[in-house]
Amino acid sequence: MTQTITLLLAPHTCSLRSTTLPPAAVTVAGTASSHISLRSSSHRKFFRRRRCSPSMSSNHLRTQSPATDHQPIRLDDESDFYQILSPDGRISICGFGSLLSEKSARSTFPDLIDFRLAKLNGFRRVYAHAAPIFFERGIAKPETMEISSLSVEPCEGETLIVTVFEIQKAEIPAFIKREHEFRFLAVIPETLDGKPFTNRAVLCARSSDEEFFQIRCKGSKEIYFQHYGRYNINKIWRDDILPCRVYLRHCVLAAKNLGDEAYNNFLDHTYLGDRKTTIREYLATTGSGIMEEEPPESLKSRYGG
């Protein structure tokens, strides 16, 4: 059977640097034996990507003063992650959605240490990308477009309450595989009283359909089909979908369990794909009733906040 999937890549503007990604299109025709064509104009990255030059060792990157350069650094390759390891060989991870829950974090990273709250300036949360995991677990509702997971994107003037924790170097490959649709950034969070962290932390930020196809799928139609095409997802990063109900409830409960500051920050600094409607507004209107809905029995522990 032949199936055609067209990925429509709309322009997206980043207010932090007023950077616009121009439109592109990816067409996936057929199943695993299908043909793919990619049309795109060149696009600029949200952030300047920095690598250690021969004169800049990984130790220098690790120990440079946080106050001197707060610009995010892109991590495109596994080797880039190793440049921001702590002296004891661990890497910091930023949690902003399900990883606000320590229980969820430990279900994925059983050996994590130092789970704590932090602030992250210059980013907002947005429910604006389709997640295959919700289809796999039977909690996506494509008929109502309630299929979205959560990401963060640059937004000048915004501040998020996040969690930060450390995982072992050996867990990095599995982390990259698990969060494959995102653009990885190394950022500098702050303590709740405004003191910059010494080490950078990895943040899963908004990417683009073109970037996912070219970098994560390496231009392979088979890889794309394995992740998204088999669920008839023709656009990953999009603004016309709503949060997966079970997942949204989980994230809200996780934030609430962290205290009032984290809870109110999540409600007021997390948006639908329109970038106007906050989660607080959504739950009081169209999304009313979501917090009263229980997850399926098999997922109550995984999505219990």
Q: Percentage of the chain with pLDDT > 70?
A: 77
CA 216 to chain centre: 14
Distance between CA 198 and CA 204 in Å, rounded?
Answer: 19
pLDDT in tens, 118-149: 999 999 999 999 999 999 999 999 999 999 99
- Dump pLDDT digits (tens) for 261-294: 999 999 999 999 999 999 999 999 999 999 999 9
Give the β-pairing of 113-130 and 270-271: parallel
pLDDT for res 216: 86
**Bridge partner list, 148:** 243
Q: Phi/psi of residue 64, each to 5°? A: -65, 150
**How high is the mean pLDDT of the chain?**
82
Query: What is the band of 227 on the pLDDT scale with cuts at 50, 70, 90?
Result: confident
Q: In the prediction, which pLDDT does 149 show?
A: 97
Identify the CATH class of 4-41+66-299.
alpha beta
**Residue 160 and residue 157: Cα distance in Å, rounded?**
10
Q: What is the pLDDT of residues 1-39, one digit of tens each?
A: 444 444 444 444 444 333 333 344 433 334 333 333 333
**Per-domain residue ranges of the chain:** 4-41+66-299
Of 300 and 44, the structure prediction assigns the larger pLDDT to 300
pLDDT number for residue 62: 38
Residue 13: strand pairing partners: 20
